[in-house]
Amino acid sequence: MFGTLSDRLTSTFKNLRSKGRLTESDIDGTVRQIRRALLDADVAVPVVREFTGRVRERALSAEVSGALNPAQQVVKIVNDELVGILGGESRALNFAKTPPTVIMLAGLQGAGKTTLAGKLAKHLREQGHTPLLVAADLQRPNAVTQLQVVGERAGVPVYAPHPGIASEAEVPTGDPVEVSRGGVTEARAKLHDVVIIDTAGRLGVDQELMRQAADIREATQPDEVLFVIDAMIGQDAVNTAKAFLDGVDFTGVVLSKLDGDARGGAALSVASITGRPILFASTGEQLTDFEPFHPDRMASRILDMGDVLSLIEQAEKAFDADQAASMAQKIVSGDGFTLEDFLVQMQQLRKLGSMKKMLGMLPGMGQMRDAIDNFDEREVDRVEAIIRSMTPQERTSPKILNGSRKARIARGSGVTPAEVNQLLTRFESAQKMMKQMGRSGGLPGMGGMPGMGALPGSGKRAGARTPSKGKKNKAAQRKASVQAMKARKAALAPETDAAPAGSSFGLGAGPGQPASVEDLQLPADLEKYLKG
């Protein structure tokens, strides 16, 4: 969502880094470009004015003029101010001292409240809570049915005493306030520690919506009122947020549709305008595309500095510890890495979510945004189909794959034999890398890891070089040649005393010695060696 803004800001800072000293005119030009980038991203004008004013004031102060690298200091100031307008520090949910904790969702129709209720419920269930969803939206057609489907996918029960309406032609008859009150009572009776109330939305802000939401709040006394806002609605987000703040007085904000391609100014405006923190962000259509909102990490993403911490947290949840230990042992031993293991690694990567999303969390990936956008997520599916079309023996010993076997695998997986060959080539490269890591105790080309020494079973010190087969053969040939020369020397050596001084070749020096070179009994094939 923040791609365009990120590109504009990165380009601005790139021009700054080429200057060793910043003048007032340089700073004014930088602030002017930042202002344009924020306005183009649909950030509210009061927020832009306040943000650029603080950036300019700090950039002209002593903290920049006295810095060793003024350009980097300006980037740091912009990062700090971005964190500020995004809410400062991240905040977790406030849970009630006496369960159940009541969480009420409010927002416009189409903002994604019902789906987000399921995402929040799944998120809390994974943390050990026992949430209950309450279907209090009785005015949107099939809203109750949708929440029941979402709850089933999330593995969370749904309290829905009233079916709601099935079409626009029907007149709503249920009482959302009574349903909400009954949901809290149901949760208390069945020992659910969290209640999530999905309320009705409207196509626009009106008094009926506000009155109904206020009545539900008064009846249930929620611990958190979360305002769900569509991050794609632009400048209108500010007016909507103010209206809900006055009518319902929410305690936190949830950004939905943060994976969209809109300009995303709502995310940079709502926290600063309302003074309420952003607690969560919805980043996709799947129930797992949901994460706590961290202002510092979001600012880092906008400035193309990556979000490695979030990537690590997702990896810790997705990867199995036992499988990781088993794979580490195979790397240490240097063998046993099969196509089955390759498939397991690919499947664990899929648990992290979208590959595009993961790549976007790495620092500097903004420069490769086009390549990331063109990445085909179905490539992982094709790899899995190819490997699953193999027999267990073929997965363990891919060297037995001949042309007919590859053609059979290609037909079974719906790909071409060329794609099967490409996979085998990639796997062979990965297998070689694993073996090299096992021998050296580190990444290929880096030797042993510092402080680790040799890995168990390697039999060599970390980083030791292993002579190639060709070098071993040459060494053996040299050794054999030296031994042959010694043998010939022993065969030609005189059996009498050594030659007297002055006789360099030991010729004609005493009894039994040959008088000339011709008298020496030299090998018959010596001439060809002399010619060489």
Tell me the pLDDT tens digit for each residue of 45-98. Answer: 888 888 899 888 888 876 666 666 777 788 888 888 888 888 888 888 999 999
In whole angstroms, give the CA distance from residue 228 to residue 100: 22
Backbone angles phi, psi at 171, to 5 degrees: -100, 125
Choice between 418 and 434, residue whose per-residue pLDDT is larger? 418
**Class at the top of the CATH hierarchy for domain 318-440:** mainly alpha
pLDDT per residue as tens digits for the range 11-56: 777 777 667 677 888 888 888 888 888 888 778 888 888 889 988 8
SS3 letters across 484-528:
HHHHHHHHHCCCCCCCCCCCCCCCCCCCCCCCCHHHCCCCCCHHH
Q: What percent of the chain has pLDDT over 70?
A: 64
Nearest to 280 by CA among 167, 116, 457: 116
**Class at the top of the CATH hierarchy for domain 101-305:** alpha beta
Multiple choice CATH, 3-85, 3.30.70.20, 1.20.1630.10, 1.20.120.140, 3.40.47.10: 1.20.120.140
Say whether 194 sits in a helix, a strand or coil.
Answer: strand
Backbone angles phi, psi at 194, to 5 degrees: -140, 135
Q: For Cα atoms 213, 172, 286, give the angle at the middle one, nearest 5 degrees.
A: 65
The answer to whether residues 224 and 212 touch, using CB atoms and an 8 Å cutoff, is no
Please tell me the predicted confidence (pLDDT) of residue 281. 87
The domain limits of the chain are 3-85, 101-305, 318-440
Whats the size of the chain, residue-wise?
A: 532
Sign for the pseudo-dihedral over CA of 333, 339, 344, 350:
positive
Choice between 46 and 191, residue whose per-residue pLDDT is larger? 191
Parallel, antiparallel or unpaired: strands 252-256 and 194-198: unpaired
Residue type, 503: S
| Upper half-sphere CA count for residue 144 (Cβ side, 13 Å) | 17
Using the CB atoms, write b or e for 263-302: b if 16+ within 10 Å. Answer: bbbbbbbbbbbbebbbbbbbbeeebbbbbbbbbbbbbbbb
DSSP label of 291? E
Reported pTM: 0.62
Say whether 393 sits in a helix, a strand or coil.
Answer: helix
pLDDT per residue as tens digits for the range 202-241: 666 667 778 888 889 999 999 999 998 887 776 677 778 8
Residue 496's pLDDT band (boundaries 50, 70, 90)? very low
Where is the binding site for GTP, in residues?
A: 107-114, 198-202, 256-259
In whole angstroms, give the CA distance from residue 365 to residue 359: 7
CB atoms within 10 A of CB 32: 13
Residue 101's pLDDT band (boundaries 50, 70, 90)? very high
Nearest to 117 by CA among 204, 278, 226: 226
Residue type, 416: T
The answer to whether residues 255 and 113 touch, using CB atoms and an 8 Å cutoff, is no
Please tell me the predicted confidence (pLDDT) of residue 369. 56
Where is the binding site, in residues?
A: 107-114, 198-202, 256-259
Please state, rounded to an integer, the average pLDDT across all residues of the chain: 75
CA-atom Rg of the chain in angstroms:
37
Parallel, antiparallel or unpaired: strands 101-106 and 158-159: unpaired
Choice between 323 and 386, residue whose per-residue pLDDT is larger? 386
